[in-house]
Amino acid sequence: MSKKTLEYTKTLLKKVSFDVKLFRKELAKAYQNLLEEEIEELREWVIVNFGVQYYLNPIYVVK
C-alpha cells in the first residue's frame, strides 16, 4: 500500500475514536490492508494518540 492509505486510516480512526468498539473494528480492517512496516507505525501512532485501551494486536496472516 502507500502512505496515502496509512494517512487515510489515521484520519478515519480520529473520526471514530468516540467509540472504542468501532475504532477497533476499523483498526482491524486497516491491519488487513497495510504492510508490516505501516502496521508497526500505525500501532505506535494509536498508542501515542489514544492509549492502550484502543490498541488491538495485529494478527499476521500469510497469503
Is the residue at 20 inside a domain?
yes
Query: What was the pLDDT predicted at 49?
Result: 92
pLDDT at 58: 66
What pLDDT score does 56 carry?
Answer: 75
Residue-wise pLDDT for 1-44, tens only, equals 468 999 999 999 999 999 888 998 999 899 888 998 999 999 99
Domain assignment present for residue 56? The answer is no
Total domains in the chain come to: 1
Report the pLDDT averaged over residues 40-55: 88
Q: Concatenate the DSSP letters of all residues of 17-61 into one string.
A: TT-HHHHHHHHHHHHHHS-HHHHHHHHHHHHHHH-GGG-------
In 3-state terms, what secondary structure has residue 16?
A: coil
- Record the pTM: 0.81
Residue ranges making up the domain that contains 18: 3-51
In a domain, 12, yes or no: yes
Residue 34 forms part of a structural domain: yes
Identify whether 61 is part of a domain.
Answer: no
Residue 37 lies in a domain: yes
